Structure formats: C-alpha cells, structure tokens
Amino acid sequence: MAEGRETDAVAERPVELAYRPTVGELESALRARARSTGAGRLQRVALVWTVAVTIVGALLSAAGSGRRDTPWPLYAGLVVFVAFMTAVPWLQARRLHRLAERQGDICGTVDDTGIRLTTAHSSATVDWHLYSRYVETPELFVLLSADKSAVGFVVLPKRAVADPEEVARLRAVLDRRLVRADNAEAPGSPRSRSRAVGRGVGSVGLLMLGLLLFFFAFAAVQHAAHPDRFPGIQNNTAPISAVMLGLGTLAVAGAWRLVRRMTAMRIVTAVLAVLVLLAGGVVLYRVGPMLHCWGSDRIARQPEGAYVCYDV
C-alpha cells in the first residue's frame, strides 16, 4: 500500500522546467506550427508554385527566340520574394527572441492542472482548455491554441528538463491533456480518409498532366522532325520541348510522392507512371538529336537525319 501511494505521488509530481528560448528553437516552433495549420500549408503550396512558375518562365524565355528580351529583373524580384518568404519564420523568431530576452530565464512546471511559467519580471498560469493539440519535434514540444490558425502557442524545449527521463513524463502529460497534431492523420480517421482520396485524385491528375506535357513536347518538334511534310528551315522548338519533358517528369515524380505511403494507390500509380514515362522516352528519342542546337534560333534536318543549327 505504501509503495503504491509512493508511485502515485511520483506520477503526479509536476515536471519542472528551466530554460531560456533561443532563436533556433523559436524558429523551429514557428515552422512546426505552419506545418500543422491550414494557413501554413497553403502558404507553403503557394511558395512552391511561385518557384515552379518562375523556373518555367525563365526556362521558356531562355529557350525561345526572344531570349534576349527575357525580363530578368522580374525574375530576380520573384527570387527575392521567395527568399524573403522562406526567411519569414526566422525573422519572426528574431523578434520574439528579443522579447524573451527581456524576460530572462524561464522556470516552470507542467502537470495535469496546467502550465505555470515564471520569469524575473512576470508569471503566468496556462489552463489546458486554451490549447487543443501539440506538435513534437526532435528538440521541442509546441502547444497550439484551439483556433484554426493556432495564433497562440507555447514552446517547451526538451532540454529544459534536468533528467532525460522527464521528457517521457512531459510527453505523457501532454498526451493526457492534448491531442497530438499528427493523430488527425492516423489511418482510419475521417481526415485521413479524405486526404487519402485527395492524394489519389491528385496523383492521377499529375500523371495526366505529365502525359499532356509529353504530348506537347512531342507536338512542338513535329515541323523540324518531318522535313518531307514541312520543308525548309524551321524555328528551333527543341529547347521548349525539353522543358516540357522535364516538367512532365516532375509531374510523374510528384504523383509518386503523393501516394508513396498508400499501398494500393502506389501499385496503380507505379503502373501508370511507367506507361507515361515510356511515352516520355519516345519524345526524348525524337528530341535528343536536336538538343545540340539549344542556343540557335533555327534548325533544319538533313536527308541523312542529322540536324543543322542556324543563328538568325
């Protein structure tokens, strides 16, 4: 009996913390919050699409006959914008760190009743109902507020506990009072099923996009590849075709990435991807002999099959 009461007392003992946040920890917390909210994921998708559109536009401009008029200042501005958006969490972390530095060292306790944090200039008690979920990273526990955007968050570094075994106790408290953000993605949950359907549809869509890009790549070089039907010197569209081939391959790779953890869709996607890539291989066989004329404006096919480059 005495031993059982002693075990319960140890289990109920608060987890004690002592730390001073660093810029890196605050940045990691902000990035973890972004990964766990719809707004953060939307921002990441928009950033990826901005990079993709910029790269495609630059490649097409460089490949076309008007490459001397490429709007490089516009592309440079987009690159600066993307770099700034990527650095936003670090900039926010720097501002939060300046505020935290004024508070000094933080001491606190965590138990089933809530979180109590004290500094040299302030003290606060946080009830669990203010937070609905948490994210765990290799270095942190990040508590997220219940609103969709998770405006409020609390950072609990694992290094803040004196004993590494206390990390497990802290995790146990959080599991009892909150929901892990990745539990919503657990197999069988409604959100997991809807995301699986979305991933499957997205995978098929990307495969169809890849096939369409390969078709455009094939069509782009038809004039140069058939001098019997289109005699004379033709515009050099081989670079544009090569860009389409690259984008189609990226679309197929994206389709595989979407379903790489879904057994059934992974098999279906693998079969379809092989067929689509075979079509891309046919296009590459057609375009490959033309690529030595990448920097030329015009191209013509000789009777023996070789291509001659012309600069106008």
Residues 134, 141 contacting (CB under 8 angstroms):
yes
Report the SS3 class of residue 15: strand
| CA distance linking residue 37 with residue 129, whole number of Å | 19
Residue pLDDT, tens place only, 70-124: 566 766 777 787 788 788 888 889 998 898 888 888 998 999 998 999 988 888 8
Cα torsion through 188, 189, 191, 197, rounded to 10: 10
Residues 307, 292 contacting (CB under 8 angstroms):
yes
pLDDT of residue 60: 62
Residues 227, 301 contacting (CB under 8 angstroms):
yes
Two tokens at 228? 């019997």
pLDDT of residue 111: 92
| CA distance linking residue 191 with residue 198, whole number of Å | 10
pLDDT of residue 4: 46
Residue pLDDT, tens place only, 254-270: 888 888 877 778 888 88
pTM above 0.75, yes or no: no
Residue type at 224 in one-letter notation:
A
pLDDT of residue 198: 78
Segments of the chain with pLDDT less than 70:
1-12, 53-72, 74-75, 182-195, 312
Listed as own residue / partner, the contacts of 191-195 with beta carbons closer than 8 Å and 24 or more positions apart are: none
pLDDT of residue 226: 82
- Sign, CA dihedral 249-254-259-260, equals positive
Closest CA to 181 of 145, 144, 217, 134: 134
List the strands of the sheet with 153-157, edge to edge: 153-157, 140-145, 131-136, 179-180
The DSSP code for 14 is P
pLDDT of residue 57: 65
Residues 120, 92 contacting (CB under 8 angstroms):
no
pLDDT of residue 187: 47
Question: How far, in whole angstroms, is CA 74 from its chain's centroid?
Answer: 24
pLDDT of residue 70: 57
Cβ within 8 Å of residue 179, ≥6 positions away:
132, 133, 134
pLDDT of residue 233: 87
Q: How many residues does the chain have?
A: 312
Please spell the DSSP secondary structure of 186-247, one letter per residue. STTSHHHHHHHHHHHHHHHHHHHHHHHHHHHHHHHTHHHH-TTTS-S-EE--HHHHHHHHHH
